[in-house]
Chain A
Amino acid sequence: MSAAGPSQGANCSLPEGRREAPRVQPVSAAGSVGVVASGRPSFEVAVIGGGLVGAAIAFGLRSLGPKLAVLDEGDVAFRAARGNFGLIWVQGKGMGLPAYTTWTQRSAHEWPRLSAELLREAAIDVALAQPGGIHVCVTQDELARRTRALATLQAQPGFKRYDVDVLDRAALARRLRGVGPEIAGGTYCALDGHCNPLKLLRALHAAILRAGGSYRAGHGVARITPHRNGFTLETALGTLEAEKIVLAAGLGNAALAPMVGLEAPVRPNKGQVIALERVPRFLALPVDTIRQTDEGTVLIGDSQQDCGLDDALGLDIVGAMSARAIRVFPMLASARIVRAWAALRVMSADGFPIYEQSAAHPGAFVATCHSGVTLAAAHAYAFAPAVAAGALPESFKPYAARRFHVPTIA
């Protein structure tokens, strides 16, 4: 994101109970917990990256208290976590890697627990709703292609099947009030939902702090040196020690991973989001390109562009997205755009996450994906415990980066 950062037009007032005093980590007294003989701050686990992936993993490790650190960059970082759309989405995912739907469904299933724990520990309601979601097909051809694609997806060996309703125009109109006259239909999956991703990020951070974890902004990691007892992390604001590290630095993982015998070949993929003014509730459930937030803001999203480290907004794309949104919901034509922004997804070559522990330097883990909202619960309740245990279970095998080592045919 740009330095100014986006906001969703979410209300800015702070409800009671949301203000927590900033925690200060004791780092001075030599010999106290958290300080090694060198005088450097020392942690059992340092999560590198304070976005949704890093924060969800750190949330899952929060019982470590002061032995946990989250090292984040500053406001100039490319922050996918502050530009995303906020869907918790299951339908349509996993083509080519059936295990991915199992992982996604697990996270969607555990999301209510995450939401409840964040409400209890951070006093922040992340506005979770899982009423199901709809993929809208504008034309009959789109609907036919979508139906075939979902059938192919679910026919994969090992695919954990779920119900998808194919909706014709009449069925779609019953589910989506105000859908446009030319829209052919859509597909509905009961497992889909959404949340407020800005509140999610804030709640994760607040819960980590409340548990005694150390959040360190401005600590972009420049170098990682593995040694016998762990890792030395050179950051923009000093050097730290950690027994274990989790690389959750988004696009930054590509450069960090090789320092600890891992690889994270990820590239930026630009997505743009348009925020309309807040309007009375008309959308009972999210559409994969249009959703209404808890406060009434209408978001339009889901553009995809490969254009490197460029997060500038493109008016051509904004125009095309707006035009399509108006075909889907004609009444949006009179709603004003209050904001639009671009952000960079963290994309691997096949679009699936990379989860791995370093064989050369055990204790170093990498986690990278482009579905930080959907997978937040899985990261907190499945990946984080595996880091704590020091071993990733068999189910993480498909996500190792060696899958990208396809020999070129001579």
Chain B
Amino acid sequence: MFRRLPDPGALPVPGVPVSLDGVPVMARAGDSVAAVLLMAGRLACGKAPVSGAPRGPFCLMGACFDCVVTIDGAPKRQGCLVTVAPGMRIETGRKAR
């Protein structure tokens, strides 16, 4: 569903290894955690507390709080506001909220 736009003029961007729910994923330097979720096809990373409807990255600017995940053990982080770092552990799911 999501793919990166071609950027022919740019220098090669270093890959950043992270894990998503325990699975190794190669992100790129400068990616947000929300971008990692979307690139991995994880459109839902949690559930709405009242309705139980699936929720995932939406606004990508820190407003909707629908991309909250656990990052390196810290719960309730907004994925769109956190930039990946090598070895980062990203965990989704109801427990992550």
Contact = CB atoms under 8 A, between A and B. Distances in A.
A155 interface: no
A152 interface: no
Q: How large is the interface on B (under 10, 10 to 19, 20 to 34, 35 or more residues)?
A: 10 to 19
Given A11-B48, A296-B49, A336-B76, A278 B65 contact: yes
Interface in B59-94: 59, 63-66, 68, 76
Contact of B50 (A7, A12, A296, A338): A296
Contacts of B59: 12
Contacts of B48: 11, 278, 295-296
Contact of B64 (A12, A280, A281): A12
Contacts of B63: 7, 12
A279 interface: yes
A336 B76 CA distance: 9
A338 B65 contact: yes
A277 B58 contact: no
B66 A12 contact: yes
B50 A295 contact: yes
12 contacts: A7-B63, A12-B59, A12-B63, A12-B66, A13-B58, A278-B49, A279-B49, A281-B50, A294-B50, A296-B50, A336-B76, A338-B65
A9 interface: yes
B50 A278 contact: yes
A328 B48 CA distance: 25
A128 to B, nearest CB: 16
A72 B84 CA distance: 43
Contacts of B49: 278-281, 296
Given A277-B97, A278-B50, 14 more contacts: A9-B64, A9-B65, A11-B48, A11-B66, A12-B64, A12-B66, A13-B58, A277-B65, A277-B76, A278-B65, A279-B49, A280-B50, A296-B49, A338-B65
B58 A12 contact: yes
Contacts of A338: 65
Interface residues of A, number: 15
A341 to B, nearest CB: 12
A277 B50 CA distance: 12
Interface in B22-59: 48-51, 55, 58-59
Nearest to A292: B50
A13 B43 CA distance: 13
Contacts of B97: 277
A11 B76 contact: no
Nearest to A13: B58
A244 to B, nearest CB: 39
Contacts of A280: 49-50
Contacts of A277: 65, 68, 76, 97
A296 B66 CA distance: 13
Nearest to B63: A7
Nearest to A7: B63
Interface string A269-302: 0000000011111000000000000111000000
Contacts of A281: 49-50
Contacts of A7: 63
Pairs of residues from A and B, 5 with the lowest C-beta to C-beta distance, nearest first: A296-B50, A296-B49, A12-B64, A278-B49, A280-B49
A12 B64 CA distance: 6
